[in-house]
Amino acid sequence: MKASEFRELMPDERITRLNDLKEELRGLRFGHVMQQVSNPLEIREIRRDIARLKTIIAEEAGNTERGPAEGSAVEAGGEEV
């Protein structure tokens, strides 16, 4: 699913979708260990969808707007490399 499609969902639908994806990933991992997964690349796609959803949820909460890390060279007056 694309990020734009996730952004169209309501916040509570995003949380529900995230939980569903986590459950699906858990099942695929178990199936992979038992060598029952027909498409192992599906695990990667679900992991990426989970990451996309977590990013969108964090953006909505305002957690992604950060400046330079504390103690960085830019903050200390040094030049940025």
CATH number at residue 21: 1.10.287.310
Q: Which domain holds residue 9?
A: 3-61
Closest CA to 36 of 44, 27, 45: 27
What is Dmax (Cα atoms) for the chain?
56
Residue 57 lies in a domain: yes
Model confidence at 27: pLDDT above 70: yes
pLDDT of 62 reads 85
pLDDT of 7 reads 86
Model confidence at 65: pLDDT above 60: no
What residue has token string 């499609």? 5
Residue 26 lies in a domain: yes
Q: List pLDDT tens digits, range 34-60.
A: 887 778 889 999 999 999 999 999 988
Of the pLDDT bands very low, low, confident and very high (cuts 50, 70, 90), residue 81 is low
Residue 80 lies in a domain: no
Q: Regarding predicted confidence, which is higher, 25 or 79?
A: 25
Contacts by 8-17 with C-beta closer than 8 Å and gap 24+?
11/57, 11/60, 14/53, 14/56, 14/57, 15/57, 17/53
